[in-house]
Amino acid sequence: MSTVANDSGLRSGLRLGLPLAIAAALAFGMSGAWARGLIDAGWTPGAAVTVRIWVAALVLLVPTILALRGRWKLLRRNLGMIAAYGLLAVTATQLFYFQAVAVMDVGLALLIEYTAPIAVVLWLWMRRGEKPTGRSILGALIAFVGLVLMLDVLSGRSVDVGGILWAFGAMVGAAAYFLLSGRSDTGLPPIALAGSGLLVGALGLTVAGLVGILPMTWNTDDVTYRFGTVPWFVPVLAIGVIATALAYVLGIASTRLLGSRLASFIALAEVVAALLFGWLLLGQLPNLLQGVGAALVLAGVVVVKLGEPAASGSGDPALAVPAEELAEPS
């Protein structure tokens, strides 16, 4: 009877989590293209990401307060986790990604960031001893070959090493996002985790800007995209409200329903969305060799995910109970 109930719960979580995860990926995917327009108009990446996070934090402030009403002890109990989420999953991921798109194509930067599922697998191997399968190792090798082609290293053309390193930094932050978002033992509602994490990130970026660590320059000039010119607040609101506030809430909710591994796999739809918005807003498209490399990166990550053991118990693969424990009589 309990097995039937668990199976029903997993199917229900998948039915709800899948559309939420896809919606989150589409929302996240538009951020780079909108931000590149601001950067080309004279904004520094630090200013663009700080405004983005502040807009999202303010949008979610009231919903976060309402969600925590009468449960403020949850904040005190999870201060460390919220700080890690704000600094790694929010600040590091978004700042490093914006630094990357300032010097390289949006889609390519995001493809590097979205090797994060491989980092999740490696972390669970080191942290929990969950050794990857042969298929996962093969997928990682395929993705590595794809990265070599995607970065156009073999053609002898100059590659912006700084942009690549920023993108890999964003990958580390994205891996932290999936691992932390998948934790269902905190008691924090998804909107509360998103709101508090974004507020921490906004404060951290502001302090970094005030002390001079993070260069911040912005203006109120119109911003030009492929389809035309818009006032500066249009991209600011787009990346703050849709690509951040809404995206983080949907992302946390879907990750708790699907688990860290499966959610990071479905989030690859963000790469497709970024390529689409990069073309629609900026006219950016990879060349043929880079396109082949991008396809190999996606294929490699898919093989990695298919090679991982299925989730059990809680429905979160990051917190799954080992098979031998499930086999023990109760």
How many beta carbons lie within 10 A of that of residue 203, not counting itself? 15
Tens of pLDDT, residue by residue over 196-253, are: 989 999 998 898 888 888 889 999 999 999 989 999 999 999 999 999 889 888 888 8
Provide the 8-state DSSP code for 229: E
Phi, psi at residue 134, to the nearest 5°?
-60, -35
**Cβ(33)–Cβ(281) under 8 Å?**
yes
Q: How many CA atoms lie within 13 A of 31 on its CB side?
A: 34
Instruction: Judge if pTM exceeds 0.75.
Output: no
Pick the residue with more confidence: 182 or 320?
Answer: 182
**Cβ(192)–Cβ(86) under 8 Å?**
no
H or E element at residue 305: helix 288-306
Closest CA to 113 of 131, 101, 130: 101
Tens of pLDDT, residue by residue over 66-96, are: 888 878 888 888 888 889 888 888 888 878 8
Q: How far is CA 114 from the centre of its chain?
A: 8
Query: What count of residues does the chain have?
Result: 330
**Which residue is listed with tokens 């190792």?**
137
